Amino acid sequence: MSRLNNLFQQKNKRILNVYCTAGYPTLQSTINVMRSLQENGADLIELGMPYSDPLADGPVIQASSSKALQNGMTIPTLFAQLKDFRKDITVPVILMGYLNPLLQYGFEKFCAKAAEVGIDGIIIPDIPMYEFEQEYRAIIEKYGLDFIFLVTPETSEERIIKLDQLSSGFLYAVSSSSITGSDKDFSPVETYLHKLQSLKLKNPVLVGFGIKDKATFETACKYANGAIIGSAYIKALESDDNVEMATREFLNGILN
Amino acid sequence: MNETQSYISPSPQGYYGRFGGAYIPEMLHRNVEELKTRYLEIMHEAEFQREYQQLLQDYVGRPTPLYFAGLLSRKYNTNLFLKREDLCHTGAHKINNTVGQILLALRLGKKRIIAETGAGQHGVATATVCALKGVECIVYMGEKDIERQAPNVARMKMLGAKVIPAVSGSKTLKDATNEAIRDWINNPSDTHYIIGSVVGPHPYPDMVARFQSIISKETRWQLKEKTGTELPTHVVACVGGGSNAAGAFYHFLDEPSVKIIAVEAAGYGIDSGMSAATTRLGKEGVLHGSRSLVMQTEDGQVTEPHSISAGLDYPGIGPMHAHLFESGRGQFLSATDEEALKASFEVAKLEGIIPALETGHAFAALDQLSLTMEDRVVLCLSGRGDKDLATYMKVMDA
Ligand SMILES: Cc1ncc(COP(=O)(O)O)c(C=O)c1O
């Protein structure tokens, strides 16, 4: 069974997925950040591969991506860093990135390498559904990776059901149709999450975008299997040089 | 992916050959899908057409003249006709598209318009039609471009638009486009994004090309009036994203006798590391929602281009042009900053027309074609040079 399925079988409530950018805050901090996240209660890690033009990300994650690129992060470098990470990191890890760098690296080579080092799934927000079905799905399945689609409050019911069918591991529910890290009011989102619940989807649902503190995490957990925190954590890393301390303090604030 | 039937129209999924499509995050899906299902139907409505044609005539000032440039013709030993898009209201071809898109946006019930701009011409053209229709207008513009195209920033403000600087990356057109897309993600229900070139996810490249195709439609009958034949031997246009070129080429693309000449900005020179010549330096990739040729590093990070002309300072090219390049239907040339400047001064002196720096690149390529007195060359004079006076004055002072 895949690590993701296993996780959701053991625990299907209050799943905390934390996003971090590979090569941020320093080139060598990737593994250290992941280890700290695991030690301090993250159930799942979403590791972002930095890109020059991250359209679906807000200013905080965008800035962390630029910094990571300046630090010298590339896909080959990342795979080198991940070579032995399964020795001490046991939580599921998914890679998030944009299509262009993967096309240059080679999509199949990317999946093969990801599977080889022990990655569990991938999120690529700018892959069109038709191209996924025609080209990428078979490759992703061949290497036993999960692929996670996004849905938003603007997504039609019919399309949500289709995206759920195509996804495995979990479904990523964007909390408001907005880029990551926005400060919008969270309450209208509850209606939407309620709707998702009523659709009886095949995958667990994690809510992302705009989850930034204990309160928003709790709300998300009321209506979904858990939540994804990104910008708020990146901000915490930004203001503290000590990755372990910053991570402990941040996750304590969410979980306790 | 279906093969395209002609060079003009993309497949139903928006592909020109291998290029095009809609590579967008789910957050943009509903808006792009709405546009995709409705743009043709709206554009074909009789009432839409009536209003669009009326505005093109009475507001934009169309048809724009096709001018026989006698002295330049003599210099290049050919017959050179200039399609005078510089005489459009606001000074460039960009308004052909914004007039069309504002009418479309209103029919979609949108209340707020966003746009990106490089040279500021598209920003001004968008601010203009928004003022005309009383719609809120926000224009994203790279910080570097705000500096080098100051007169256009002032115009946008006077027209009531809000200009927001894009401060990431190279602080030019690419980054302004990123910011505009982010704004659209954040405002999914009331906002329409007026893209200024034949780039972006399907249906934008096709929609913008259709709005600009008025350029070649007029050229055909104007050339017939002047020479007795509708078809030129060459059509020449500069390419940033490629909208004036798409419009100038459109009705000639399926006429194999017409040579299609696209001119890119070489910046300091193709191999200088400071260039924007995408077909020479780019590889297949995905940028701003479509699969096309993209200037990028080996790792697939989009590189920061350089051109003296803000409107050509873009690391990509519309998918239609990527296909014209790859299929060999179009010939792609380039001109350096210096060559474009020199050409602009020459056109000013010989014809009494000060062209935009972007268009200077198209003129600079005439030298690279072996033209004869038998040829009928149409060059798209995409815009006028008022916005570039600061740059031109620096050359004169030097
Ligand atoms: C006068 C003029 N020509 C050409 C361009 C380049 O755009 P496109 O390649 O879409 O025609 C611009 C863009 O700002 C422009 O202002």
Q: What is the pLDDT of residues B246-279, one digit of tens each?
A: 999 999 999 999 999 999 999 999 999 999 999 9
Whether A5 maps to a domain, the answer reads: no
Whether B8 maps to a domain, the answer reads: no
DSSP string, B31-49: HHHHHHHHHHHHHH-HHHH
Stretch A159-166: mean pLDDT, rounded?
98
Interchain CB contact of A125 with B (< 8 Å): yes
The closest residue, in CA terms, to atom 5 on ligand 1 is B311
3-class secondary structure, B379: strand
| Residue type, position B24, single letter | I
Q: Please report, to the nearest 10 degrees, the dihedral formed by the alpha carbons of residues A164, A167, A173, A178 taken in order.
A: -110
pLDDT band at A239 (very low <50, low <70, confident <90, very high): confident
pLDDT exceeds cutoff 80 at A165: yes
Stretch B59-75: mean pLDDT, rounded?
98
- Cα B182 from Cα B300, distance rounded (Å): 21
Whether B11 maps to a domain, the answer reads: no
Whether A202 maps to a domain, the answer reads: yes
Residue B112 β-bridge partners: B136, B191
Q: Single out the residue of B21, B107, B2 nearest to residue B320, CA to CA.
A: B21
| Whether residues B235 and B274 fall in one domain | yes
Instruction: Please name the residues in contact with A68: beta carbons below 8 A apart, sequence gap of 6 or more.
Output: A21, A22, A23, A24, A27, A50
Residue A191 has a pLDDT of 83
Q: Single out the residue of B237, B200, B218, B277 nearest to residue B359, CA to CA.
A: B237
| Whether residues B39 and B138 fall in one domain | yes
pLDDT exceeds cutoff 70 at A186: no
Contact A100, B294 (CB under 8 A): yes
| Whether residues B113 and B194 fall in one domain | yes
Interchain CB contact of B2 with A (< 8 Å): no
Whether A141 maps to a domain, the answer reads: yes
Whether A188 maps to a domain, the answer reads: yes
Determine the residue among A99, A127, A177, A179 to mutate to test chain B binding: the one whose Cβ has the most chain B Cβ atoms within 10 Å: A177
| Whether residues B296 and B236 fall in one domain | yes
Whether B5 maps to a domain, the answer reads: no
Instruction: Please name the residues in contact with B171: beta carbons below 8 A apart, sequence gap of 6 or more.
Output: B142, B143, B144, B145, B165
3-class secondary structure, A203: coil
3-class secondary structure, B238: strand
In ligand 1, the atom with minimum distance to the C-alpha of B119 is 14
Residue B3 has a pLDDT of 45
Q: In this prediction, what percent of chain A has a pLDDT beyond 70?
A: 95
The number of folded domains in chain B is 2
CB-nearest to A101 from B24, B181, B301 is: B301
Q: What is the pLDDT of residues A103-146, one digit of tens each?
A: 999 999 999 999 999 999 999 999 999 999 999 999 999 999 99
**What is each CA distance from B392 to B84, B142, B181, B360, in whole angstroms?**
21, 21, 33, 11
| Whether residues B217 and B313 fall in one domain | yes
- Cα B334 from Cα A167, distance rounded (Å): 45
A135: closest CA of chain B, how far (Å): 11
Domain that holds residue A52: 13-251
Whether A128 maps to a domain, the answer reads: yes
Whether A8 maps to a domain, the answer reads: no
A124 C-alpha vs ligand 1 centroid, how far in Å? Answer: 32
Q: What is the pLDDT of residues B70-100, one digit of tens each?
A: 999 999 999 999 999 999 999 999 999 999 9
The active-site residue, picked from B36, B83, B85, B116, is: B116
Go through B296-308 and write b for each residue having 16 or more CB atoms within 10 A of its CB, e for each that does not: beebbbbbbbbbb
Which domain-ending residue is among B168, B192, B208?
Answer: B208
The beta strand positions in chain B, using DSSP E, are 15-16, 19-20, 66-68, 79-84, 112-117, 136-142, 162-166, 191-193, 234-238, 259-267, 283-287, 290-294, 330-336, 376-381
Instruction: Please name the residues in contact with B154: beta carbons below 8 A apart, sequence gap of 6 or more.
Output: none
| Whether residues B184 and B51 fall in one domain | yes
Q: What is the pLDDT of residues B148-202, one digit of tens each?
A: 889 999 999 999 999 999 988 778 899 999 999 999 999 988 999 999 999 999 9
| Whether residues B218 and B203 fall in one domain | no
A to B CB pairs, distance under 8 Å = 106
Residues of chain A contacting residue B31, judged by C-beta atoms under 8 Å apart: 154
| Whether residues B30 and B128 fall in one domain | yes
- Cα A114 from Cα A109, distance rounded (Å): 8
* Residue that wins the pLDDT comparison between A2 and B55: B55
Stretch A237-248: mean pLDDT, rounded?
92
pLDDT exceeds cutoff 70 at B2: no
pLDDT exceeds cutoff 70 at B294: yes
Across chain B, what does the average pLDDT equal? 96
Which domain-ending residue is among B208, B241, B275?
Answer: B208
Furthest-apart CA atoms within chain B: distance in Å: 56
| Whether residues B102 and B152 fall in one domain | yes
Strand-pair category, B162-166 with A226-229: unpaired
Is B94 an annotated catalytic residue? Answer: yes
pLDDT band at A35 (very low <50, low <70, confident <90, very high): very high
pTM for the structure as a whole: 0.96
pLDDT exceeds cutoff 70 at B372: yes
- Cα B250 from Cα B206, distance rounded (Å): 11
Q: Is omega for the bond preceding B10 within 30 degrees of 0, making it cis?
A: no
- Cα B296 from Cα A77, distance rounded (Å): 18
| Whether residues B46 and B88 fall in one domain | no
Whether A3 maps to a domain, the answer reads: no
The number of folded domains in chain A is 1
Whether B340 maps to a domain, the answer reads: yes
Residue A175 has a pLDDT of 82
Which domain-ending residue is among B208, B242, B271?
Answer: B208
Stretch A212-218: mean pLDDT, rounded?
91
Residue A187 has a pLDDT of 65
Residue B170 has a pLDDT of 79
| Whether residues B265 and B375 fall in one domain | yes
Q: Single out the residue of B273, B315, B46 nearest to residue B175, CA to CA.
A: B315
A249: closest CA of chain B, how far (Å): 30
Q: What is the pLDDT of residues B7-16, one digit of tens each?
A: 999 999 999 9
Domain that holds residue B155: 23-55+94-208
ipTM: 0.94
| CATH assignment of the domain containing B257 | 3.40.50.1100
| CATH assignment of the domain containing A162 | 3.20.20.70
Whether A2 maps to a domain, the answer reads: no
Judged by CB atoms closer than 8 Å, whether chains meet at B284 and A103 is answered as yes
A210: closest CA of chain B, how far (Å): 12
Q: What is the pLDDT of residues A58-103, one digit of tens each?
A: 889 999 999 999 999 999 999 999 999 999 999 999 999 999 999 9
| Whether residues B166 and B256 fall in one domain | no
Contact A223, A197 (CB under 8 A): yes
